[in-house]
A and B are shown apart, each in its own frame.
Chain A
Amino acid sequence: MKKLLSVLVALTMVLSLMAGCGSGGDEKKETSAPKQEADGSASDQGGSEKADAGTEAAPQEEGSQNYDKVKIASPIPLTGPNSQYGMAYKNALEMAVKQFNESGGLGGKEVELEILDDQSDVTQATNLANQIIDDKDVFAVVGTFGSSVGMATAPIYQSGGMPLIAPNISHQDFPQTGDLLVPISPTATIEINGVADTLFACTGEGSKMAILYATTDLGVNVNSILTEKWPELGGEIVYSNSFVSGETKDFSALLTEVIALEPDIIYTSGEYYDVASVILQARQLGVSEDVIFSGPGQCFTQEFLDLCGDQAYNGIYCGTLPAYFEDVITKENYSDTMVNFMTDYNNTYSEACNGFAGNCYDGIMLTLLAARKVGTDDPKALVEAIVSYEGYESVSTEHLFFSDYNYANKSLCAYTVKDGHFAKVEY
């Protein structure tokens, strides 16, 4: 009996280890749902009067442009595992289109928004993509959530001559997949390089960094870029080790080593609870009060603040998106556009404003403004107008621009935590 038990136990453990590796794979759902026409009425209930987020100036130099096509298609996950992000997209899309039409639309014509449910499913998204490129009225696609769907459908749009503006694809290979593809999120490489610059500006020459990274694609990428870039800047990497995000609750073994090396800054790449665990456990192990804790944009949540309590002091948390808190996004810190966007969004919708909505709003608004400039007939010209658009005031960053044709760049947002609230770091 005991032998059988031991075999069983050993088997279970092996299985459990493998289960850890397998999770987070593709979440497939049987699909059959046909396209869903979004009814714009549902979301308009809030009493937002100032429809103008201040982004768009008066209709510019139109007249000669051709606006035969007036439809934007948005395949986003309205059902399925990522539906919460899809809903944020939907809200932002409808808000932007409404504002754009109120400000004059495309030469007097109203832009039509067609929201389709791709369920975050590659098969469904592929079908939708083929359907969209056959639609003669559609001049651009703003949508797709996540890299797996985005990377699968990008070639279809590219070969179908359809510009794809993707709010949240940070996959390294996305921009170079085609010249009609425009990501609004910087690639991971661009972001982490920015993080390194920001942190270095805050800590200064010769500062010693310890890195704890999750064993995910992103974590490994963060580690390799930081270990290369930090010494180039003039700092020193004293420690680097990985952990399994979500499963590792006890960081004391790693932190004991880290603390013995006396770093100036401890960077944790992982989820908000990983960063919080590191901070709390390091303080218990008697880490020096001068050590700066740092983490990614995933920390910009109320949950993170709650977990850390009063222990999060002396931290710098950097991401490409701002922390959409009412006490952070203020007119002293950010542009009126951004503040107005957040206020409008929060007044109109029951869910709080977040980075997904911000990116999506930027994506569609930039597309519409570019279309107003160059018309909707020529996909290539439209994309060129988007990536070279001057004077657009982003709602998801202080400064949005494109480099190397279609690589998105954003100024980083860095925050520290003071008295349980995020506060902007000037560097």
Chain B
Amino acid sequence: MFLQQLINGLTLGSIYALIAIGYSLVFGVLQIVNFANGSIYMLGGFLTLVLYNKFRINFLLCFALALIINGFVGFCLDRFALRHLRQKKATKLVGLITTMGFATVIENFVMLFFSNATVPYPNKIDFGSFSIGSAVVSSTQVIIFLVVLVLLLLMSWVVYGTKVGKAMRAVSQNADAAKLMGIDVNGVIAMTFILSAVLAGISGTMVGMYYQMIDFTSGFSIGMKTMAAAVLGGVGSLPGAVTGGLIIGVVESLGASYISSAYRNAFAFAVLIIVILFLPNGLFGKEKVTKV
């Protein structure tokens, strides 16, 4: 049974990890927490579903279309809200509250135009299941694992192996210096938001298929937990976000099963609080030296 709980937890955790990467990237370049990430995740799931139900064409095509739209929404968040704030030299807090507002807009949009009820989601990656010992593993879980793994490697390559990634890291170290070196800072930031929204959209669709249902409120709690995952791992660090996501997922599953399910959210946040007490920068975060 422990094995089964571990598998359940790892599935949940790998989804958290994927969204947490988006958080980490945005935090890295802008030093603000993107509260809209949870809503963008939910929107991504809904977009795939709505496109699929509307046009009844290839699911993968709808999925791809949804990701493009989702990326565009992420771009809009930066282009039409946050960029203005940066130009006006508003404090980080204003940006953070703006993302909260953006989240409300997305949620209400989905509620008004898509559905205010819980709606069924087709599971297109269900090819049966197999057992390891007493534990049952479904193909959905395996595919989620694999997709997350591939995306992690891809993101690592983007951030650490490409010019765009180099530009991102440069902006996150010092935006002004990066600008002086000829880096298009706004372009890099926009790129980061698009990447983060696309990752969230992929997660949203996969979770929709995993649970076979979706509703417009589902972004909030997962947004909170993935933020916890990102902070736990050390904000700005990719391996940190992944580890954080997995830890939160597993702790939540084990806590829910061995202690009480009513407090499952509390377990996730309790881990966060404990880690932050001892490692204020998270597991993989580097201490930042503030030079005067």
Within 8 A of A (CB), among B119-170: 119-120, 129, 131, 134, 136, 138, 140
Q: Please, how many angstroms separate the alpha-carbon atoms of A123 and B217 in the complex? A: 31
* A247 CB contact (under 8 Å) in B8, B221, B253: B221
B260 close to A307 (CB less than 8 A): no
In the bound complex, residues from chain A placing their C-beta under 8 Å from that of B260 are 241-242
Closest B residue to A287 using CB positions: B136
B292 at interface, CB cutoff 8 A:
no
In the bound complex, residues from chain A placing their C-beta under 8 Å from that of B257 are 253-254, 256-257
In the bound complex, residues from chain A placing their C-beta under 8 Å from that of B31 are 1
Q: Please, how many angstroms separate the alpha-carbon atoms of A6 and B232 in the complex? A: 9
Q: Please, how many angstroms separate the alpha-carbon atoms of A425 and B120 in the complex? A: 26
Chain B binding site: helix, strand, loop or mixed by DSSP?
helix
In the bound complex, residues from chain A placing their C-beta under 8 Å from that of B261 are 241-243, 248, 253-254
Chain A min CB distance to B94 (Å): 14
* A243 CB contact (under 8 Å) in B120, B221, B228, B262: B262
Closest B residue to A286 using CB positions: B136
The answer to whether residues A273 and B215 also contact, given A250-B12, A253-B8 and a CB cut-off of 8 A, is yes
Complex interface: stretch among B69-77, B173-181, B186-194, B263-271: B263-271
Q: Please, how many angstroms separate the alpha-carbon atoms of A211 and B284 in the complex? A: 41
A13 at interface, CB cutoff 8 A:
yes
Chain A min CB distance to B13 (Å): 11
* A246 CB contact (under 8 Å) in B8, B138, B217, B227: B217
Chain A min CB distance to B34 (Å): 12
The answer to whether residues A6 and B280 also contact, given A249-B211, A280-B213 and a CB cut-off of 8 A, is yes
A5 at interface, CB cutoff 8 A:
yes
A286 close to B120 (CB less than 8 A): no
Q: How big is chain B's contact interface, by range?
A: 35 or more
* A285 CB contact (under 8 Å) in B117, B136, B224, B262: B136
A256 close to B5 (CB less than 8 A): yes
In the bound complex, residues from chain B placing their C-beta under 8 Å from that of A13 are 224, 228, 269, 272
In the bound complex, residues from chain A placing their C-beta under 8 Å from that of B131 are 286
Closest A residue to B122 using CB positions: A309
Q: Please, how many angstroms separate the alpha-carbon atoms of A244 and B262 in the complex? A: 6
B281 at interface, CB cutoff 8 A:
yes
The answer to whether residues A17 and B265 also contact, given A12-B224, A253-B253, A306-B119 and a CB cut-off of 8 A, is yes
Q: How big is chain A's contact interface, by range?
A: 35 or more
In the bound complex, residues from chain A placing their C-beta under 8 Å from that of B273 are 10
In the bound complex, residues from chain B placing their C-beta under 8 Å from that of A10 are 269, 272-273, 276
Closest A residue to B270 using CB positions: A13
- The interface bits of chain B over 239-273 (1 if a CB of A lies within 8 angstroms of the residue's CB, else 0) are 00000000000001110110011101110010011
Chain A min CB distance to B121 (Å): 9
A284 close to B140 (CB less than 8 A): yes
A50 at interface, CB cutoff 8 A:
no
In the bound complex, residues from chain A placing their C-beta under 8 Å from that of B119 are 303, 306-307
Q: Please, how many angstroms separate the alpha-carbon atoms of A260 and B5 in the complex? A: 12
* B227 CB contact (under 8 Å) in A9, A281, A285: A9
* A276 CB contact (under 8 Å) in B12, B213, B220: B213
Chain A min CB distance to B96 (Å): 8
In the bound complex, residues from chain A placing their C-beta under 8 Å from that of B57 are none
In the bound complex, residues from chain A placing their C-beta under 8 Å from that of B262 are 215, 242-244
* B213 CB contact (under 8 Å) in A253, A260, A277: A277
The answer to whether residues A254 and B280 also contact, given A286-B131, A303-B118, A309-B120 and a CB cut-off of 8 A, is no
Closest B residue to A303 using CB positions: B117
A172 at interface, CB cutoff 8 A:
no
In the bound complex, residues from chain B placing their C-beta under 8 Å from that of A254 are 256-257, 261
A48 at interface, CB cutoff 8 A:
no
The answer to whether residues A2 and B288 also contact, given A250-B211, A281-B211 and a CB cut-off of 8 A, is yes
The answer to whether residues A273 and B118 also contact, given A10-B273, A257-B1 and a CB cut-off of 8 A, is yes
In the bound complex, residues from chain B placing their C-beta under 8 Å from that of A276 are 118, 213
A2 close to B280 (CB less than 8 A): yes
A252 at interface, CB cutoff 8 A:
yes
The answer to whether residues A2 and B285 also contact, given A256-B1, A277-B211, A286-B131 and a CB cut-off of 8 A, is yes
Q: Please, how many angstroms separate the alpha-carbon atoms of A4 and B103 in the complex? A: 22
A136 at interface, CB cutoff 8 A:
no
Chain B min CB distance to A212 (Å): 8
A253 close to B120 (CB less than 8 A): no
In the bound complex, residues from chain B placing their C-beta under 8 Å from that of A280 are 211-213
Q: Please, how many angstroms separate the alpha-carbon atoms of A273 and B12 in the complex? A: 19
Q: Please, how many angstroms separate the alpha-carbon atoms of A256 and B254 in the complex? A: 11
Q: Please, how many angstroms separate the alpha-carbon atoms of A8 and B281 in the complex? A: 14
Chain B min CB distance to A368 (Å): 36
A16 at interface, CB cutoff 8 A:
yes
Q: Please, how many angstroms separate the alpha-carbon atoms of A247 and B220 in the complex? A: 9
B256 close to A286 (CB less than 8 A): no
Chain B min CB distance to A5 (Å): 7
What 3 pairs across the A-B complex have the smallest Cβ distances? A273-B118, A253-B256, A252-B8
Known contacts A9-B272, A243-B261; 8 further A-B pairs (Cβ under 8 A): A2-B285, A16-B221, A20-B265, A254-B257, A254-B261, A273-B213, A303-B119, A307-B118
